[in-house]
Amino acid sequence: MSIRLNYPQLSSEAYQSLLALSETQKNYSIDRSLIELVKIRVSQLNGCLFCLDLHIKEARTLGERELRIHHLSIWHESSLFTEKEKAALEWAELLTRFNSKGVEDAEFDKARTFFSEKELSDLTFAIGIINMWNRFGVAFRNKPGSLDKIFGVDKIGLV
């Protein structure tokens, strides 16, 4: 699979802005491992192989267990995730798969029982950003693994 067009070059200013926005995630109030789990789940939902590949590798570099990554597609049923992690994954699915009613008050209230306002705001930004990257990966077919060296995930030995 080859990339369909070079959007980083064609829309350089917007691409650089999205990169800069993505970089702010290093300062989020939520554990980076949880953010990576959310990115993996959203990428699964959106069918973005490039992002799925990258964020699995990033999660592994942060020490995430392989079995938990395998269980992400069935997190509802898995006992490997905490209630807070499940709330984050549920929030990610709600914001990735909108229905005609949007997010109900009960769903918002449930997320708020696990996350402070700052954490929920940061989590929502993370979900929005990965959804944006997924759109580019799906539309233009970024090659999985092509940026491993740049992101420093080439050292973990996943091929």
Which range among 7-11, 104-108, 123-127 shows the weakest confidence by mean pLDDT?
Answer: 7-11
Q: Is 124 exposed, middle or buried (0-12, 13-18, 19+ CB in 10 A)?
A: middle
Strand, coil or helix: what is 44?
helix
CA angle (139 as vertex; 135, 142 as ends), nearest 5: 90
Q: What is the pLDDT of residue 146?
A: 62
As a CATH number, domain 29-144 is 1.20.1290.10
Q: What is the pLDDT of residue 2?
A: 64
Q: What is the pLDDT of residue 5?
A: 85
Write the pLDDT tens digit of every residue in 40-83. 999 999 999 999 999 999 999 999 999 999 999 999 999 999 99
Q: What is the pLDDT of residue 95?
A: 96
Write the pLDDT tens digit of every residue in 91-108. 999 999 988 888 999 999
Domain locations in the chain as residue ranges: 29-144
d(CA 156, CA 20): 25
Q: What is the pLDDT of residue 147?
A: 60
